[in-house]
Structure 1
Amino acid sequence: MLSLKIDIDNNSGFCFGVVYAIEMAEEILNEQGYLYCLGDIVHNDEEVHRLQERGLRIIDYGFYRSLTNEKVLIRAHGEPPSTYQTALQNNIQLIDASCPVVLKLQNRIKRTYDERKPVYIFGKEGHAEVIGLKGQTNNEAVVFGSYEEMRSHRFPQEITLYSQTTKSTAELYRIRDAIETTGVKVDLKDTICRQVSNRDEELRSFAAAYDIIIFVSGSKSSNGKMLYAVCKEANPQTYFVSAIQDLRREWFTPNQRIGICGATSTPMWLMEAVKTKLAEM
């Protein structure tokens, strides 16, 4: 036995938007035994699998457009206007679990677009949230995912810059400053969720306090990738795992202090399972 001393970060786990979506899904699953969900309800394969075993049916846009007379859950990431139009045409009852922070951002982007101002979004092209955000601009908004991508764009004289809610605050301001050095006027709208951004400093402190950090997250989670990088910077002995099967005994030596933390899309039950596995080593 390695006799590891293991703690879980109490601030890790689902954000309120994900909690709300999953509670809504579970309520309907309890009532009717199944429920369609447009895309993964959360970017965590283990949690998706748990809900699928309870009757959640993950569907894509093609399947969604063929459905009629059904209930469909909209996850916390939000959806573009076309999703609501399809629901009206096909008599689909939408169970709308869009995060209020995302809905507010969608409305702000639509107002800017309606004012005929160029809309730029710092986010991941193709990400579920970004699809909904671009939809507010008839898909005309320009999206870039990093400082390096931004440098390849030719900007007009004035732009309005928004951000996907789960991106890095420091990177957003770095991008704003870089664009302004080219002479472009940037109207920055800091639309990063504070439940996400406030976790940066908390995680830095947590990660620095342990010999090894196990960061638990789905591989598709943008928030997970960003927060993992924060932990890795604070503690180079940080390992990314998506399931207990990813843990390796050779990472550890006896009596080390191990910290477990995760993304806003990581369920607490999964971090508890990681802790149990480590305790058995």
Structure 2
Amino acid sequence: MMNLNVTIDQNSGFCFGVVYAIEMAEDILEEHGHLYCLGDIVHNDEEVKRLQAKGLEIISHDDLLNIRDANVLIRAHGEPPSTYQLAIENNLTLVDASCPVVLKLQNRIKNSYDKGDQIYIYGKHGHAEVVGLLGQTNDDAVVFQELEELDVASLPKRITLYSQTTKSTDNFYNIKDQLTAAGIEVNANDTICRQVSNRDKELRDFARKFDKIVFVSGTKSSNGKVLYNICKENNPNTYFVSNKSELDIQWFTPKDSIGICGATSTPMWLMEEVRDELHSF
């Protein structure tokens, strides 16, 4: 036995928006035994498998075109107006688990668009939340992941800047400062979820406390990639796993102190499984 000293970060795991969506799904599955979900309910394969075993059926937007007279869950990322219109046409009952933070952002973007603002969104191309945000502008807004994607010299002299809710706060303000320095008037709207952004500092402190860090996340999670890199920067002995089977005993030495943490899409039960596996080494 290696006698590893293992601690789970109690601030890691599901954000309230994901908790809300999963609780809604579980309630309906308990009552009806089946529920369609538009896209992965959370970017974590292990949690998706758990809910699929209860009767959750993941569908795509293409699938949705051919489904009628059914219940369909909208996950925390939110959806564009076109999805709600299709639901009316196909007599679908939408179980709307859109995160309140995302819904508020959608409304702000729509109001800006209706006023004629030139809208730029700092976010990941093709991300479900960003697709929903773009939909508020009839896809007229400009989405960019890096400032280098924009030809700053040809930008309008005044723009309205928003952010996907899970992006880095520091990066958002760096972008605003660089655009301002280039002579552009930026109406910056900090729409980043503080429950997510505050994890940056919390994880920096957490990662430094241990010999090794095991970061647990689904490979599809954008937030997971960001937070894993934060851990790695603050503790080079950080390892990424999606589940307990990916742990390698060779990463550890006897009596190591190990911190376990994860993304906002990582369930606590999965981190507990990783902890128990480490205790068995």
* TM-score between the two structures when normalised by the length of structure 2: 0.98
Q: Counterpart in 2 of 1:106?
A: 106
Matching residue's letter, 1:77 = H
Q: Counterpart in 2 of 1:132?
A: 132
Q: Counterpart in 1 of 2:83?
A: 83
Q: Counterpart in 2 of 1:271?
A: 271
Alpha-carbon distance in 2 for matches of 1:148, 1:225: 20
Instruction: Give the 3 Å change call, closer, same or farther, for CA 279–123 of structure 1 in structure 2.
Output: same
Describe the superposition over 1:9-29 as per-residue Cα deviations: whole angstroms up to 9, x where unpaired: 011110111001000000110
What is the root-mean-square deviation of aligned Cα atoms in Å? 1.1
Matching residue's letter, 1:121 = I
Conserved in 2, the CA contact under 8 Å of 1:147 and 1:171?
no
Alpha-carbon distance in 2 for matches of 1:163, 1:18: 19
Describe the superposition over 1:181-240 as per-residue Cα deviations: whole angstroms up to 9, x where unpaired: 211111100000010111111111110000011111111111111111111111111111
Aligned pairs, number: 281
Alpha-carbon distance in 2 for matches of 1:187, 1:136: 18
Q: Counterpart in 2 of 1:222?
A: 222
Matching residue's letter, 1:198 = N
* TM-score between the two structures when normalised by the length of structure 1: 0.98
Alpha-carbon distance in 2 for matches of 1:79, 1:185: 30
Shift of 1:43: 0.5
Greater Cα shift, 150-159 or 50-59: 150-159
Matching residue's letter, 1:54 = K
Q: Counterpart in 1 of 2:185?
A: 185
Structure 2 matches for 1:234-245, cutoff 5 A? 234-245=234-245
Instruction: Give the 3 Å change call, closer, same or farther, for CA 268–153 of structure 1 in structure 2.
Output: farther
Q: Counterpart in 2 of 1:142?
A: 142
Matching residue's letter, 2:12 = S
Give secondary structure in 1 for the equivalent of 2:14. Answer: coil
Q: Counterpart in 2 of 1:212?
A: 212
2:18 is the alignment partner of 1:18: yes
Alpha-carbon distance in 1 for matches of 2:153, 2:252: 45
Conserved in 2, the CA contact under 8 Å of 1:150 and 1:175?
no
Alpha-carbon distance in 1 for matches of 2:156, 2:123: 19
Give secondary structure in 2 for the equivalent of 1:198. Answer: helix
Conserved in 1, the CA contact under 8 Å of 2:152 and 2:182?
no
Alpha-carbon distance in 2 for matches of 1:251, 1:234: 17
Instruction: Give the 3 Å change call, closer, same or farther, for CA 153–221 of structure 1 in structure 2.
Output: farther
Give secondary structure in 1 for the equivalent of 2:266. Answer: coil
Structure 2 matches for 1:166-177, cutoff 5 A? 166-177=166-177
Give structure 2 stretches of 5+ with no counterpart.
none
Matching residue's letter, 1:133 = L
Shift of 1:245: 1.7
Matching residue's letter, 1:83 = T
Shift of 1:177: 1.1
Conserved in 2, the CA contact under 8 Å of 1:87 and 1:94?
yes
Give structure 1 stretches of 5+ with no counterpart.
none
Conserved in 1, the CA contact under 8 Å of 2:70 and 2:92?
yes
Give secondary structure in 2 for the equivalent of 1:117. Answer: coil
Q: Counterpart in 1 of 2:69?
A: 69
Alpha-carbon distance in 2 for matches of 1:152, 1:54: 50
Instruction: Give the 3 Å change call, closer, same or farther, for CA 147–212 of structure 1 in structure 2.
Output: farther
Matching residue's letter, 1:174 = N
Alpha-carbon distance in 2 for matches of 1:275, 1:153: 51
Alpha-carbon distance in 1 for matches of 2:61, 2:153: 30
Instruction: Give the 3 Å change call, closer, same or farther, for CA 278–103 of structure 1 in structure 2.
Output: same
Instruction: Give the 3 Å change call, closer, same or farther, for CA 150–249 of structure 1 in structure 2.
Output: farther
Alpha-carbon distance in 2 for matches of 1:96, 1:148: 36
Question: Kindly, what percent of the aligned residue pairs are identical?
Answer: 64
